[in-house]
Structure 1
Amino acid sequence: MGNLGAIGHFIMTPLYYAISAVLVAWHSLLSLVLPADGGMSWVLSIIGLTLVIRAALIPLFVKQIKSSRNMQLIQPKVKELQKKYGHDREKLAQETMKLYKESGTNPFASCLPILIQMPIFLALFRLLDHAAKNQQGNGFLTDSLAKSFGDSEIFGVMKINATFVSPAGSVAVQVLAAFLVVAMTATTFTTQRQLMSKNMPSDAMSGPYAQQQKMLLYVLPVVFAVGGIAFPIGVLFYWTTSNLWTMGQQFYVIRNNPAPGTPAFTAKAERDRAKAARHDAPAAAEVVESEQPEQERRSAQRQQPRRQTRQQRRKSGGGRPTDQPNSEGEQQ
């Protein structure tokens, strides 16, 4: 147990320093406009920390999206392998891994952002928990800053280190904690549901990847709901903000770069056609307007009176006098 503790401390210490550095930097910046010991300055510092962490994880998210897309696209081939080698589990596993390798797909890449965030989440939880309960700093979070955090209150009635199950005698804490837990659970469910309903091909909805997504769709919200009631308010702000970032980021990717053969891909194609039609309409109008002067000139030329013959001019009264000879030297 002592060795495991030493290993855990060795892994968590760099995270303590990294997280506390960003947290203290945000707090120093916000203290210029907000009370340094106020709960809002610490809450906004936690939200700022969340944004920095999620921005740093964007390359990992892009890798996750590519891997998820490849997993969706190769599902028909996976089904063929299952039909062909369903009786031989070892051969099926070999051929499936070969298919993953050829397509450049990592079946575990979709879990990377969550796996990477868990140590960060745990480090933040430990950092804030020690600061709140023991008023002990860690990393760049000094003891004085830890005391400031532990004593800070939101709107003067809710301690930032309070939880739903330990509200420090404040009903407002339980109301806010319940709201954040519900928001955290709802955003998790919405994000997974959005991925399955809009960015998965119809032929991939019954494969093993779809089963994995369906499991995450219901398991993750339950995990967050059960565990969330024990999280401090500050940690709930972190996780809810992180979920909102994930939902917005995924919405942007699905809308602008959807996987082929999905409802989102069809919707994007329709938007592109409508955009092209709107773009072509003004150009066509300009061409019509540029052709109008030329058409008017030609129309004017066509409307000029035709030249009349001598006989026609005589009938209309516009000919020469009758006593003058005509072209044959005769007189009228």
Structure 2
Amino acid sequence: MDTIASLFSFITWPVSWVIVQFHKLYGAIFGPDTGWAWGLSIVSLVVLIRICLIPLFVKQIKATRNMQALQPKMKAIQERYKSDKQRQSEEMMKLYKETGTNPLSSCLPILAQSPFFFALYHVLSKIASGDKIGALNQQLVDSAREAHIFGAPIAAKFMDTPEKVEALNASLTDVRIVTAVMIVLMSASQFFTQRQLMMKNVDLTVKTPYMQQQKMLMYIFPVIFAVMGINFPVGVLVYWLTTNVWTMGQQMYVINQNPTPGSKAQDAYLQRLLKSVTQHGEVRGRGRKRVVKDIVAKGSDRNENERRFFAGLAKAGFAAQADGTVVKSDTVSAEAEGGAGTRRQQPKRQTKAQRQAAAAQQAKEAEDATLSVEATPEDKPAPSLEKGPKPQAKGAKPGAQDAADKPARPSRANSGGARQGKSGQRKGPQRPKHPSSKK
């Protein structure tokens, strides 16, 4: 650890200078040699560093969400080019470039904070050995050696020997109790931060390997910090505990105010927003207007939480606008209230026995209708279309009327056209046979 800390010696002087400036402020309040003055100086150093890292934290949030959204596409690329690693890498880089995603952005806050962490570790190690370093002169180093936090010197470690602890005017029991409590709090805060991220701020509709990795890190990171914590000085534990608490609070703020789309946190946020709009009749705050504006712009791509939010607005008689505001609309309210009545009613699902009985009834009715149409009564004679005999004209010969009533017999030439052709013969006038053909 000392070797790693020495690699960041270039930032040791700025870190020690910031601690000295905060020590002057708190020393005037609590006394220059007290643990409160030196402990609060370290806490203030953490707060200052984390404020400077807020822009990187915003980039981390965006990068993390983009990586979650890209997981299905990344998995498809891996499956498609699993035998060609070079082509797989090229397609991955192309995907990152098209979406503007940087995989390293999710690690930027930790990477940017690491030099300050190791520089502080190097400063506290020099304080434990009584050597001046950076902006800390010998007088300030001696004052820091005398500072105790709940009975434990800020330069003492859990694994220090009793002789080294006695040289710092403290007892080994006090040092180990204080460091053990700090290690437990440090690991618990790390676990809780990761857990609230996984349980509330993750889109549960997308199942990707990224979620499994995050679950593993949720349990692995606290164990790693607990093992490493036994070699950290009390001052470094104060630093790391403070940064974990800051991260936890920062994460809670992001989850409540800017949740991941499709997550439980987004559903809770939109329900709070719906309640506020219903009470005040408007969207209050630029952040909330931006959220409504983004949801309106999605159109048909809205997730279930966003569709539920719009349905609630319509039921309350409001319509969201493209600029993020809402307007009162009686038409929307009427449609929301009467939508269930005007909607087409779907028939209830019948059981198998009911379906069979209905089919048998329909078949019976069809059979009765067919029989009633085809059946003819036998006792009723068929009506005759023939008319009675006409009276004979005066002077007409007997039998002339019969001849007139008889239809004219077709001539021999047209007899073939009058008769129906037999099977396989052409209907209509027959072609005359050739004289040389046999009859």
What TM-score does the superposition give when structure 1 sets the normalisation length?
0.76
* 2:58 maps to amino acid: V
Residues 76, 203 of structure 1: 8 Å contact kept: no
Match of 2:47, SS?
Answer: helix
Please give the root-mean-square deviation of Cα atoms over the aligned residues, in Å: 2.2
Match of 2:231, SS?
Answer: coil
Deviation at 1:41, TM superposition (A): 0.8
Match of 1:200, SS?
Answer: coil
> Distance between the aligned counterparts of 2:206 and 2:136, measured in 1?
48
Determine if the alignment matches structure 1 residue 164 to structure 2 residue 164: no
Structure 1, residues 291-316: CA drift from partner, whole Å, max 9, x if none?
xxxxxxxxxxxxxxxxxxxxxxxxxx
Structure 1, residues 91-138: CA drift from partner, whole Å, max 9, x if none?
2222122111111111121112112222211110010110122x2222
Partner of residue 121 from structure 2, selected from 120, 125, 128: 125
Residues 75, 203 of structure 1: 8 Å contact kept: no
The aligned runs of 1:239-254 (5 Å cut-off) are: 239-254=240-255
> Distance between the aligned counterparts of 1:179 and 1:138, measured in 2?
29
Specify which structure has the bigger relative contact order, considering alpha-carbon pairs within 8 angstroms and separated by 6 or more residues: 1
Determine if the alignment matches structure 1 residue 146 to structure 2 residue 147: no
What TM-score does the superposition give when structure 2 sets the normalisation length?
0.59
Q: For residues 231 and 240 of structure 1, do their structure 2 counterparts lie closer, same or farther at Cα, with a shift above 3 Å needed?
A: same
Determine if the alignment matches structure 1 residue 60 to structure 2 residue 56: yes
Residues 124, 154 of structure 2: 8 Å contact kept: no
> Considering only CA atoms, is the larger Rg found in Structure 1 or Structure 2?
2
The answer to which structure has the higher helix fraction is: 1
1:300 match: none
2:190 match: 188
Match of 2:262, SS?
Answer: coil
Residues 132, 151 of structure 1: 8 Å contact kept: no
Determine if the alignment matches structure 1 residue 39 to structure 2 residue 39: no
> Distance between the aligned counterparts of 1:190 and 1:280, measured in 2?
37
Identical pairs, percent: 46
Residues 5, 122 of structure 2: 8 Å contact kept: no
Task: Decide which moves more: 89-98 or 268-277.
Answer: 89-98
The aligned runs of 1:297-316 (5 Å cut-off) are: none
Deviation at 1:266, TM superposition (A): 1.6
2:19 match: 23
Match of 2:248, SS?
Answer: helix
> Distance between the aligned counterparts of 2:178 and 2:37, measured in 1?
17
> Distance between the aligned counterparts of 1:93 and 1:257, measured in 2?
32
Q: How many residue pairs are counted as aligned between the two chains?
A: 273
Extract unaligned runs of 5+ from structure 1.
285-332
Extract unaligned runs of 5+ from structure 2.
166-170, 283-315, 317-439
Structure 1, residues 3-24: CA drift from partner, whole Å, max 9, x if none?
xx8x985x62331111111111
Task: Decide which moves more: 92-101 or 222-231.
Answer: 92-101
The aligned runs of 1:80-91 (5 Å cut-off) are: 80-91=76-87
Determine if the alignment matches structure 1 residue 179 to structure 2 residue 193: no
Q: For residues 171 and 243 of structure 1, do their structure 2 counterparts lie closer, same or farther at Cα, with a shift above 3 Å needed?
A: same
2:355 match: none
1:72 match: 68
* 1:69 maps to amino acid: R
1:289 match: none
